[in-house]
Amino acid sequence: TRKMQMIFQDPYASLNPFFTVGEIIAEGLELHKLCANAKERRERVYELLNMVGLSKEHANRFPHEFSGGQRQRVGIARALALNPEFIVCDEPISALDVSIQAQVVNMLMKFQRELGLTYLFIAHDLSMVRHIADETAVMYLGTMVEYGPTEEVYGHPAHPYTQGLLSAVPVADPDYEKTHHRIPMEGEVPSPIDPKPGCRFCGRCPRATEQCRTQTPAPKDLSGGHFAACHHLD
C-alpha cells in the first residue's frame, strides 16, 4: 500500500537493472497516479533524488552505474516517493561499506524527524539498533524473546539470549575488555522448520530445566512495557 514501503538489504538486487533510476523512482508515482502529468512526475523524481543526496542528472543512469551507497540512496528515494507513514528497513546498511553506513543511517534518522516516519529497523548490528531505535525486540528462531524501550532492554537485559548477545558486543576500551565477562552460547541451533516443544532457546540456555523443554514461556511484563519470555526471570 501507499502508507507502507520497504528498503531492502541488497541495494542492487532490489533495483530493476533494465530501468533507469528515474523510471525506478517514478514507477510508484505512475501506478498510484500521484502526479498530473509526466512533467510533474519528473520534477518529483528530481526532488526525491536531491533529498537523498543525488542530482537530477542521475535520473537517466542505470543501477549498475552507481556505487552500493548510491544504489541504497535510490532505494530510499523510491520508498519515500509515495509519502509513506511506515517503512520496513530490512538490514538496510549491512551490504554497505562501513564508511557509508553512518551516512545512510543519519539520513534515515533525518527523514524520520522531518517526515514523521515510523521505521521497523531489522538488523544484527546491536550498536546501530541502540543508536536508531526507540524500542527494541529481540528474536530467536522466529520467536520474540524480549521487547521494550531500547535503553531498558540494553541496560537491563532479562532473557538469557539477550544477555548473551549484549555480552558479545565489543567495546573500544582495552581495560574494559580485559575484565569484561562474555556469556558463551553453547549447543546447536534447533531446526527452524520443525522446532521442539517448549522454549526454543532451551538447548543453549544455562538455566534450562525440564519445564523449559516442555512448556513455551509466556511474555512477562517486567516494568514499563519491558517484556521477556522466560520461565526463570530474576
pLDDT in tens, 151-163: 999 999 999 999 9
| CATH number belonging to the domain at 4-130, selected among 1.20.1730.10, 3.40.50.300, 1.10.287.3510, 3.40.640.10 | 3.40.50.300
pLDDT digits (tens, 9 = 90+) for 191-228: 888 888 899 999 999 889 999 999 999 999 998 899 99
Residue type, 85: E
Asked if pLDDT for residue 234 goes beyond 70, the answer is: no
123 pLDDT higher than 90: yes
| Of 3-7, 93-97, 144-148, the least confident | 93-97
Where helices occur in 13-168 by DSSP H, the ranges are 21-31, 38-51, 68-80, 98-115, 126-132, 150-155, 160-167
Residue 27: per-residue pLDDT: 95
For residue 195, give every residue at least 6 positions away whose Cβ sits within 8 Å of its Cβ, in sequence order, or none: 141, 142
In the chain, domain spans: 4-130, 135-228
- For residues 224 and 217, the answer to whether their CB atoms sit within 8 Å is no
Distance CA 138, CA 147 (A): 6
pTM: 0.89
pLDDT at 180 over 80: no
